Chains A and B, each alone.
Chain A
């Protein structure tokens, strides 16, 4: 058994304190242990983003949180079944990364994929309809939470197999290369997926063939209930990138601006034939592994400490601090997101369950 101090992990990974909500603090660069990448002054990064982009990122992150925050109620009301996995706390990774892409670029996702789909521009109405198993859902009720896909926006699907998206992403990147397209592929996966063999196999081939793929590891501190220290031989996951001979960068995944810049650089490398990159976004899964997880494996104090790094609250605070947003506008964003989720739910409820005969559609063998 590993002795676990709930604060040691936080302290070793991220330095932040109660002053974190002070926008002045946030303008400073974060200190990330083991980060070999060049430190960038965050205020510079922040200033490089225009107001509209940052507001849009805040809006999208708020929408993701509103969507995933609705899950427990949907279970309680008996509206959804099976498993669903909330990405509350990880919104900055999804949004920062997808906003660094072009519309035609591809994304592969994970079992915790609602945020990725929303960030890439997915329709929350069709997502909600899919969660409710309705005919109007993205997968016509055949996929549910873990298999939402929207090929019209390059979203190649959430995936119920841990690391299942990694090979698909590398394959899409090979396809892009062979078709001489300039698209890139963003591959989201959790730190739990890094120990699947397919990551070694596809990371190697992606590097060997200089494929335009960004391996974005969302290190949310938990693979189900297991911490990286219990499962992974290195604490700095970019060492795995070093094994492939590709760029590896550790970033603050609670900071949407940091994610945006890191992925934009990685996308630029990919688009210009410089091959794959690995980005480890240090973040935190505020909720359990699945809706209904009792979270016996962690202490409340830990969550409280990470609350100070809340990606949405921090961006909002920074925007208000920069006079790019006032409190009223910030509150309106939240109300607007809630309204969209209400409408999505109404849309989903209004859609019928799939006709039983459709169970036989889209099967060919």
Chain B
């Protein structure tokens, strides 16, 4: 089969950047250490070898200046370029919130449509084994709260490439959050030029008994427990929204109409996390279809601690998901062990 090439998530992102930079001379990437470290592609190898082809102007190493590089990205985007700015860790979004929230998200609107900001800010989220409180956070709900920012969270190598191409071609700012645990996950990625549209969820697994919404590392855990529960005769439907802004509520609603049960899982802290927003949107539309209260399985309201015994408490586990799913289905007395 022609399209059965298997590559990593990181390589898929790299290919998206390479193809878009070839297609459009205004596309450029910049960030800290993006031509340094490892094999010369930044911490996670996403920009590997790009500078060989495109030079160090279009593959631009920057100082450690997160606010400055996002602000410069905004200015470049306003004046005819399509910058793809990399923040080494998603936690550093906090340093760049001014240009992202007050500038990128607002300029087109507050200037009455005169301007557009075709900016992509790439970063990563998620705990990945001991990176502790300042290199593990999932802050996507912060971004989702701001009108004027699109938000993509690719879960597979295929989506990583297709969504990044869509992000780069978008005339408006996109925050593109990858997951640290997925960079070296492999999947089928066609070499050709394809895009994955924003606002189109995908049903990763069909089932009749309950709907589960999750992305990225949590999606993988949900798919694992879905396989496990299939052995018990329980069929979960697992939906990956792929983009949180825009959010494909229709696909979720259709799923809930069939399953009458909904569980939402994210690694981000539960308090004011996007699960609450999605749950409310579902309630507003299909309250009458629900046979049980919506359940959230989310990150605990804690900074991410370092030690594995502590980190494991904060991040939802497969066992947490199994237990919560059985409770959702009213079968909490029926204990399912993972193995």
Of B76, B103, B148, the residue contacting A363 (CB under 8 A) is: B148
Query: Contact between A166 and B150 (Cβ–Cβ < 8 Å)?
Result: no
Query: Contact between A208 and B109 (Cβ–Cβ < 8 Å)?
Result: no
Known: A149-B115, A168-B78, A176-B79. A161 touches B102 (CB 8 A): yes
Known: A151-B111, A164-B103. A179 touches B81 (CB 8 A): yes
Please, what's the 1-or-0 string for A157-176, where 1 marks a CB less than 8 Å from any CB in chain B?
A: 10111001011111111111
Of B58, B103, B110, the residue contacting A168 (CB under 8 A) is: B103
Give the complex CA separation of A22 and B308 in angstroms: 79
B62 within 8 A of A: yes
Give the complex CA separation of A208 and B30 in angstroms: 14
Query: Contact between B115 and A170 (Cβ–Cβ < 8 Å)?
Result: no
Query: Contact between A168 and B74 (Cβ–Cβ < 8 Å)?
Result: yes
Of B72, B112, B148, the residue contacting A171 (CB under 8 A) is: B72
Give the complex CA separation of A244 and B263 in angstroms: 54
Pick from A141, A362, A365 the residue with the most CB of B within 10 Å: A365
Query: Contact between A140 and B113 (Cβ–Cβ < 8 Å)?
Result: yes
Complex contacts, A78 vs chain B, CB 8 Å: none
Query: Contact between A201 and B81 (Cβ–Cβ < 8 Å)?
Result: no
Shortest Cβ distance from residue B302 to the other chain A in the assembled complex, whole angstroms:
29
Complex contacts, A161 vs chain B, CB 8 Å: 98, 102-103
Which residues between 236 and 290 of chain B lie within 8 Å of chain A, taking CB atoms? 245-246
Of B72, B103, B151, the residue contacting A174 (CB under 8 A) is: B72
- Size class of A's contact patch? 35 or more
Query: Contact between B71 and A139 (Cβ–Cβ < 8 Å)?
Result: no
Give the complex CA separation of A209 and B90 in angstroms: 26
Pick from B62, B83, B109 the residue with the most CB of A within 10 Å: B109
Of B62, B67, B75, the residue contacting A169 (CB under 8 A) is: B75
B301 within 8 A of A: no
Complex contacts, A178 vs chain B, CB 8 Å: 26, 28, 57-58, 76, 81
B233 within 8 A of A: no
Complex contacts, B147 vs chain A, CB 8 Å: 363, 365
Please, what's the 1-or-0 string for A321-364, where 1 marks a CB less than 8 Å from any CB in chain B?
A: 00000000000000000000000000000000000000001111
Of B81, B112, B149, the residue contacting A365 (CB under 8 A) is: B149
Give the complex CA separation of A143 and B113 in angstroms: 11
Chain B: CB-nearest residue to A208: B63
- Size class of B's contact patch? 35 or more
Complex contacts, A173 vs chain B, CB 8 Å: 75
Pick from B69, B70, B111 the residue with the most CB of A within 10 Å: B111
Query: Contact between B150 and A157 (Cβ–Cβ < 8 Å)?
Result: no
Query: Contact between A362 and B72 (Cβ–Cβ < 8 Å)?
Result: no
Which residues between 14 and 63 of chain B lie within 8 Å of chain A, taking CB atoms? 26, 28, 57-58, 62-63
Give the complex CA separation of A201 and B107 in angstroms: 21
Complex contacts, A164 vs chain B, CB 8 Å: 98-99, 102-103
Complex contacts, B68 vs chain A, CB 8 Å: 167, 170, 198, 201-202, 204-205
Query: Contact between A157 and B71 (Cβ–Cβ < 8 Å)?
Result: no
A115 within 8 A of B: no
Chain A: CB-nearest residue to B109: A362
Complex contacts, B162 vs chain A, CB 8 Å: none
Give the complex CA separation of A364 and B28 in angstroms: 23
A260 within 8 A of B: no
Chain A: CB-nearest residue to B70: A167
B114 within 8 A of A: yes
B80 within 8 A of A: yes
Other than A171-B72, A171-B79, give 17 A-B pairs with Cβ distance below 8 A.
A138-B114, A139-B112, A139-B114, A141-B112, A143-B112, A147-B111, A164-B102, A167-B70, A168-B103, A170-B75, A171-B74, A171-B75, A172-B78, A175-B81, A201-B68, A202-B72, A363-B109
User: Could you jot down 25 A-B contacts, CB within 8 Å?
Assistant: A143-B111, A147-B110, A147-B111, A149-B114, A161-B98, A170-B72, A171-B72, A171-B77, A171-B78, A172-B76, A172-B78, A175-B76, A176-B79, A178-B28, A178-B57, A178-B58, A179-B80, A179-B81, A198-B99, A204-B65, A205-B62, A362-B109, A362-B112, A364-B150, A365-B148
Interface set of B (CB-CB < 8 Å, partner A): 26, 28, 57-58, 62-63, 65, 67-81, 83, 98-99, 102-103, 107-115, 147-151, 172, 245-246
